[in-house]
């Protein structure tokens, strides 16, 4: 079977990826001609543990995507294509996935990269004993159940037949495994292979991951100041920039430093577009967004379990007003966890209707004295700051007693994993490349820390449709089944969907070859080409 169209499949994708990764793109400047450094705005402060085993974190992923690489990657058009892999072959029954790896790749310390590194990484990620937040994602792989049961530490469906071949075998057809697993970043076995399985995710290496396959290597993280990188001399293509600094400052500081050229690249709120364009030394670029900004409501708390309450919350919020004021020209209201190209128009729009919200709350027996905390990480995304304020105000108007709570990134690990929250506003994700990604945030068996289901939502009928869609190799049939699943999702309201936002970037005119991806955790597209 060829790659589905969404993966730009088959030989074309493989040849494209190979040419980009191996540098067969014409003459490159000599090492002594490499120039300077780039400073880039990081929209939130990293948690500081740069490990693919940790729960997903947008700023930390942006750090890691300079250091590490994965088997497949996302393009600016939100398609999946090979990255480390030169080719991906899918069996006709969509149960066997064979990755052909390059023969000449080296780690940044000069050691050879082989399939043993991929196997090591995936085995550690599939084993919950390591502290891996991604272990649950490997459930469909042959032998994963034995690891979960403690019978073995090795998943039998993950194999490396030779140095340049890696294979994943699943218990049933599972086209979405490429989206689920293929984007995990690969770790160096020669550095970490002798570390104990127990609590592997907490190894000191992840505080300072100085060996990787990416175009840059980690130098230092100065908390509240910057993350520093230097060019990887063993990357197969000449890297165009000697040093990069990711700077976790507030959005207003980032714009000011764009003007003084202390920052070269920054995402920014579209409300600041005129200010940015007036700087004179900047070009504005936009990126597609396959994700969305949402509020996770804690379904494990009794007061939120009636779907009429969650529906009422949506009706109570003027989401179009938030888009018009905070995201003019680049935002759109979201009404499903599924990409709008899949969910279609035949779903409830939950248009602003405070009276309907009050009616639903009365029907559900909502107690207006029930306190509700809405938490979010403030400062890096002005649109989210504005959304949090608007949501709190408008919910209060319909009788929901909301208190805003500004939190740091570290708050999320302690409170989300233990369900010690009421509502949490956040964003990101890529649900456009393959709708199977929605399974990770909605499925009954993907509650944190076993997946990305932060609210603790569960609907077996939705899960059944998701699995049915993912087991089909027929793209048309898959999309039709996902559309059915989107109707359940839309009715059940697992999240308060707010909006999608095409990312806006400001780039100093002296910077060449920057291609934007969405800033919220998509990483970087071929940073080796930046100059």
Confirm whether 509 is domain-assigned.
yes
Pair 470, 352 in one domain: yes
- pTM for the full predicted model: 0.79
CATH number at residue 168: 3.90.76.10
Pair 243, 327 in one domain: no
Pair 111, 233 in one domain: no
Confirm whether 209 is domain-assigned.
no
Domain boundary among 178, 204, 230: 204
Pair 21, 49 in one domain: no
Pair 327, 413 in one domain: yes
- Token pair 């003027």: residue: 318
* pLDDT of amino acid 429: 84
Pair 474, 497 in one domain: yes
Q: How many CB atoms neighbour CB 341 within 10 A? A: 10
Pair 248, 263 in one domain: yes
pLDDT tens by residue, 14-55 = 322 333 332 333 333 322 333 589 999 998 899 899 999 998
**Rg (Cα) of the chain, in Å, rounded?**
23
CATH number at residue 429: 3.10.105.10
User: Which of 91-95, 351-355, 438-442, 519-523: highest mean pLDDT?
Assistant: 351-355
Confirm whether 46 is domain-assigned.
yes
104: which residues sit within 8 A by CB, 6+ positions away?
Answer: 22, 236
Pair 302, 410 in one domain: yes
Confirm whether 61 is domain-assigned.
no
- Token pair 């100059």: residue: 531
The whole-angstrom separation of Cα 327 and Cα 314 is 19
pLDDT, average across residues 95-124:
97
* pLDDT of amino acid 29: 32
* pLDDT of amino acid 450: 80
Pair 181, 247 in one domain: no
* pLDDT of amino acid 124: 97
Asked whether residue 4 carries a pLDDT value surpassing 60, the answer given is no
The whole-angstrom separation of Cα 161 and Cα 31 is 37
Pair 488, 512 in one domain: no
Domain boundary among 204, 236, 251: 204
* pLDDT of amino acid 407: 95
Looking at 18-27, 39-48, 195-204, 364-373, which range is the least confident one? 18-27
Q: What is the mean pLDDT of the chain?
A: 90
Asked whether residue 340 carries a pLDDT value surpassing 60, the answer given is yes
The whole-angstrom separation of Cα 154 and Cα 199 is 16
Pair 116, 249 in one domain: no
pLDDT, average across residues 211-234:
97
Pair 91, 231 in one domain: no
pLDDT, average across residues 453-466:
97
Confidence of residue 518 (pLDDT cuts 50, 70, 90): confident
DSSP symbol at 223: T
Tell me which long-range contacts 217-221 makes (C-beta under 8 A, separation of at least 24): 217/67, 217/108, 218/50, 218/63, 218/67, 219/243, 221/46, 221/48
* pLDDT of amino acid 9: 35
Distance of CA 191 to the CA centre of its chain: 26
Task: Give me the domain span that covers residue 89.
Answer: 5-30+69-204
DSSP symbol at 381: -
Confirm whether 64 is domain-assigned.
no
* pLDDT of amino acid 88: 94
Confidence of residue 122 (pLDDT cuts 50, 70, 90): very high
Name which residue leads in pLDDT, 409 or 159: 159
pLDDT tens by residue, 282-310 = 999 999 887 899 999 999 999 999 999 99
Cite the DSSP H helix spans in 56-114: 58-67
* pLDDT of amino acid 521: 66
Confidence of residue 409 (pLDDT cuts 50, 70, 90): confident
Domain boundary among 147, 179, 204: 204
pLDDT tens by residue, 246-290 = 999 999 999 999 999 999 999 998 889 999 999 989 999 999 887
Count: domains in the chain:
3
Classify residue 22 by burial, with Cβ atoms within 10 Å: 0-12, 13-18, 19+. middle
The whole-angstrom separation of Cα 483 and Cα 184 is 27
* pLDDT of amino acid 79: 87
């Amino acid at each position: 079977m060829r790659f589905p169209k969404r993966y730009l499949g088959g030989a074309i994708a493989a040849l494209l990826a190979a040419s980009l990764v191996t540098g067969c793109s014409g003459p490159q400047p000599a090492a002594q001609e490499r120039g300077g450094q780039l400073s880039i705005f990081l929209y939130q402060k990293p948690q500081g543990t740069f490990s693919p085993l940790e729960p997903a974190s947008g700023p930390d992923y942006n750090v890691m995507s300079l250091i590490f690489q994965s088997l497949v990657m996302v393009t600016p058009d939100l398609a999946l294509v090979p990255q480390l892999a030169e080719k991906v072959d899918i069996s006709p029954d969509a149960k066997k996935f064979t990755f052909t790896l390059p023969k000449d790749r080296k780690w940044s310390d000069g050691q050879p990269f082989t399939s043993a590194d991929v196997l090591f990484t995936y085995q550690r990620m599939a084993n919950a004993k390591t502290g891996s937040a991604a272990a649950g994602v490997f459930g469909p792989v042959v032998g994963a159940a034995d690891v979960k049961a403690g019978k073995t530490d090795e998943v039998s469906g993950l194999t490396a037949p030779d140095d340049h071949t890696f294979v994943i075998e699943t218990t049933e057809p599972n086209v979405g495994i490429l989206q689920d697993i293929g984007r995990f970043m690969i770790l160096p076995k020669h550095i970490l292979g002798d570390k104990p399985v127990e609590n592997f995710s907490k190894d000191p290496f992840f505080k300072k991951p100085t060996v990787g396959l990416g175009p840059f290597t980690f130098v230092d993280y100065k908390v509240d100041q910057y993350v520093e990188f230097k060019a990887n001399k063993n990357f197969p293509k000449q890297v165009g920039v000697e040093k990069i600094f990711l700077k976790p400052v507030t959005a207003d500081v980032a714009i000011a430093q764009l003007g003084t050229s202390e920052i070269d690249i920054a995402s920014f709120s579209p409300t600041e577009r005129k200010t940015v364009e007036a700087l004179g030394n900047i070009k504005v670029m936009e990126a597609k967004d396959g994700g969305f900004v949402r509020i996770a409501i804690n379904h494990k708390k009794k007061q939120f379990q009636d779907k009429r309450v969650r529906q009422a919350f949506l009706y109570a919020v003027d989401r179009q007003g938030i888009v018009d004021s905070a995201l003019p020209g680049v935002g759109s209201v979201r009404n499903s966890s599924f990409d709008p190209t899949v969910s279609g128009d035949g779903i409830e729009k939950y248009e602003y209707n405070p009276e309907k919200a009050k009616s639903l709350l009365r029907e559900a027996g909502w107690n207006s004295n029930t306190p509700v905390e809405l938490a979010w990480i403030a400062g890096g995304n002005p649109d989210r700051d504005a959304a949090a304020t608007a949501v709190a105000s408008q919910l209060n108007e319909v009788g929901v007693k909301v208190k805003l709570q500004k939190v740091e990134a570290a708050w999320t690990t302690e409170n989300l994993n233990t369900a010690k929250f009421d509502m949490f506003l956040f964003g990101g994700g890529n649900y456009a490349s393959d709708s199977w990604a929605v399974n990770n945030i909605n499925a009954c068996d993907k509650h944190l820390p076993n997946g990305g289901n932060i609210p603790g939502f569960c609907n077996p009928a939705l899960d059944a449709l998701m699995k049915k869609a993912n087991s089909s190799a027929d793209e048309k049939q898959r999309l039709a089944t996902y559309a059915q699943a989107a109707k359940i999702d839309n009715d059940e309201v697992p999240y308060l969907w707010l909006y999608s936002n095409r990312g806006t970037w400001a780039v100093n005119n002296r910077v060449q070859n920057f291609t934007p991806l969405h800033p919220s955790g998509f990483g970087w597209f071929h940073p080796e080409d930046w100059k």
